[in-house]
Amino acid sequence: MFSPLYRSTKLRSAMSIPGRTRNALLCLSVPLAIVLTVVGGVAARAATGPIAILGVASETRTLLPHLTHRKNVVVLHVPYVTGVLNGVPVVVARSGVGKVNAAMTATILIGHFHPACIIFSGSAGALNPNLQPGDVVIGAKTAEHDFGTLYSTGMSHEPTDGIAERKQNPMYFPANPRLLKAAELAASRMHEEPIDVGSGPHTPRVVVGTIVTGDVFVADQNTNDALRKYFHADAVEMEGAAVAQVCWEQNVPFLAIRSISDNANRQTPTMFDKFYKLAARNSARLVMAIVQIYSTKPASY
């Protein structure tokens, strides 16, 4: 069984970044059929389409057998699968590895399918030393750790520039509040058996925390420590914040779910090979539960 859900005490807002103050406007949650979220002063379009689920590879393969009325759809050379997941219309896609692939997949998906929301499911390396393989991080916020200015003295991390409004994006992209609430409820209902992580049995836990994204596969303890210290992050991966940025710009509710496959240090290659499928399975199971809850009326949860 998952141990009790707990929130990371290290969650910080963008205002905690030294020398920078960023006003990150949270998306307001309203009924699914009339999503009128205000972001940056612009009302979001109504989104009544399917719930979209993105994953790198194994995460989507885990979900597909559960879909009924499956249909393969190729849009601008990118394959998508539409169907019904436990009574809920969904569109599922493999994003591929890295920020460009993920952003392209999400952008085409939004333009063609007009999803009600996007959930990214995948594996990640642990930055929080208390996390073990199989644990799951619900991303309360995401950030790009490799965007900024590189000086001889080190990296100056900066927020990205927006396109739609020509305004600077927040340093941290916040999860949609309604999706986040659905994820917390789904996590509280999940059950999982203890697994052997090498140091003895471990019962997977769920954490609400911060996820950082970059176009590098982190397998170095010094980098791990630096990302943990600067961003107060719990997990690192290669796609989430890119999709979060697209969703922020297009006013689409977004949430990242990441299951830990490794410790983002020199042991990562071995650990990743051993625990990746487990991490993908745990992440996908939580996503399926979130879809079920999110598709109901907000007042019911």
* Cα 143 to the center of its chain, rounded Å: 10
Strand locations in the chain, DSSP E? Answer: 6-7, 38-39, 42-43, 51-55, 67-75, 78-85, 88-94, 117-126, 136-144, 148-151, 154-157, 173-174, 195-196, 201-202, 206-213, 235-237, 254-262
pLDDT at 47: 55
pLDDT at 269: 60
| pLDDT per residue of the chain (301 residues) written in tens, 0 to 9 | 444 444 443 333 333 334 433 333 333 333 333 333 333 333 444 457 999 999 987 667 888 889 999 999 999 999 999 999 999 999 999 998 999 999 999 999 999 999 999 999 988 999 999 998 888 999 999 999 999 888 988 889 999 888 877 788 999 999 999 999 999 999 998 777 677 766 677 788 899 999 999 999 888 888 899 999 999 999 999 999 999 999 999 999 999 999 888 777 666 566 666 666 666 777 788 899 999 999 887 767 7
Regarding pTM above 0.85, the answer is no
- CATH topology (fold) of 6-11+38-145+157-294: Rossmann fold (3.40.50)
pLDDT at 241: 96
- Written as six digits, the tokens of 196 are 């052997």
Q: What confidence score (pLDDT) does residue 298 get? A: 75
pLDDT at position 25: 31
Exposure string for 209-248, b = 16+ CB within 10 A, e = fewer: bbbbbbbebbbeeebbebbbebbbbbbbbbbbbbbbbbbb
In the block, tokens 């997949």 appear at 105
**199 touches 129 (CB < 8 A):** no
Q: What pLDDT is stored for residue 274 in this prediction?
A: 67
Q: Are 246 and 107 in contact (CB under 8 A)?
A: yes
> Which residues are part of the catalytic machinery?
59, 262
Domain boundaries along the sequence of the chain: 6-11+38-145+157-294
Bridge partners, 72 (sequence order)? 81
SS3 at position 205 = coil
221 contact partners, CB below 8 Å, separation of at least 6: 265, 266
